[in-house]
Structure 1
């Protein structure tokens, strides 16, 4: 197997391993995370109070699997030269640092932080090294633009999940004993 094929497949594998953590932890931790965000952020009250449901997380991860898989395929087809693959790789690596930064800011666990330093960031660094060894240079405008597109893509995935699930997108309703905490 060519090194560029291995790292292209590795993007999807690393994403899947990392998202397994998110699959397990995002819904139960989301209520606390949303509650701690600054009040000035335009987050619906229902989302602050209830967080995300497990169904919402499941649908969102399935939706995100499509562009990640297609990015990996683009990497395989182009020996790692595709801006889509390289942008996806850049976005994946940088997003690992956001998980760690979020946990520092929260001063506690946030979803994704357990696998970010042991899977996401090491894979990203290795993939960048392999690409350089194979003569594929770092970023350019197209790669950076593709990476930045991950921000609205992520928001879009969550909005689509919310639209599909409606009320089912929200976590469990706040119980009276929880309201006192």
Structure 2
């Protein structure tokens, strides 16, 4: 690491950059523990409550194995570790780190919206209001004070959501492939 990169890394701090990885890991422990069983118990009720959702989505949700989800979470973890390291190496200036940070926070809001839609608990909803959203707001504030985060534009929101969605979809596709599924 060059002296400039070291100075930049100190500017935003490892709590901001590698904190993304730590916050993600804690959040995903909840999802790993809760999602497979929650889907098995709730898919039939959700299928009746939300009939406009395509049948293929319900079949996929009801048939997801814990192993597939665990492999997908591991793959997302590799992505988050990589973007956290990029954020650290650039003092928080990395565009991909900032996009992932935005995506993490926005995905926390999606969890809360899902819980509101089903009028109850959904996996990820417990840690989103106490960890995901607060960490994202704190980290963005630190980056802003360090002078490395520009004001948020609608494009940044779209990129963050797109990054989170693409990472999730790709991780599940790879997990199915690795485990020999369709």
- Interval containing the TM-score (normalised by the shorter chain): 0.7 to 0.9
Larger CA deviation: 33-42 vs 153-162: 33-42
Matched, 1:139 2:171: no
- The verdict on how the C-alpha distance between 1:84 and 1:33 changes in structure 2, with shifts beyond 3 A counting, is farther
Matched, 1:125 2:120: no
Residue of structure 2 equivalent to 1:26: 35
- In 1, the alpha carbon distance for the partners of 2:119 and 2:151 equals 33
Q: How do residues 1-181 of structure 1 correspond to structure 2 at under 5 angstroms?
A: 2=10, 3-35=12-44, 36-37=46-47, 38-44=50-56, 46-48=59-61, 50-136=62-148, 137-139=150-152, 143-144=156-157, 146-147=159-160, 148-166=162-180
Q: Which runs of 5+ in 2 are unaligned?
A: 1-8
Structure 1 residue matching 2:53: 3-state secondary structure:
coil
Ranges of 4+ aligned residues in structure 1 off by more than 6 Å: none
Shift of 1:104: 1.0
Alpha carbons 2:17, 2:84 under 8 Å: kept: yes
- In 2, the alpha carbon distance for the partners of 1:13 and 1:56 equals 22
Larger CA deviation: 32-41 vs 21-30: 32-41
Alpha carbons 2:100, 2:163 under 8 Å: kept: no
Q: Which runs of 5+ in 1 are unaligned?
A: 170-181
- The verdict on how the C-alpha distance between 1:71 and 1:33 changes in structure 2, with shifts beyond 3 A counting, is farther
Shift of 1:144: 4.7
CA RMSD of aligned residues (A): 2.3
Structure 1 residue matching 2:97: 3-state secondary structure:
helix
- The verdict on how the C-alpha distance between 1:129 and 1:157 changes in structure 2, with shifts beyond 3 A counting, is same
- In 2, the alpha carbon distance for the partners of 1:34 and 1:79 equals 43
Alpha carbons 1:31, 1:47 under 8 Å: kept: no
Q: How many residues align?
A: 167
Shift of 1:151: 1.3
TM-score normalised according to structure 1 size: 0.81
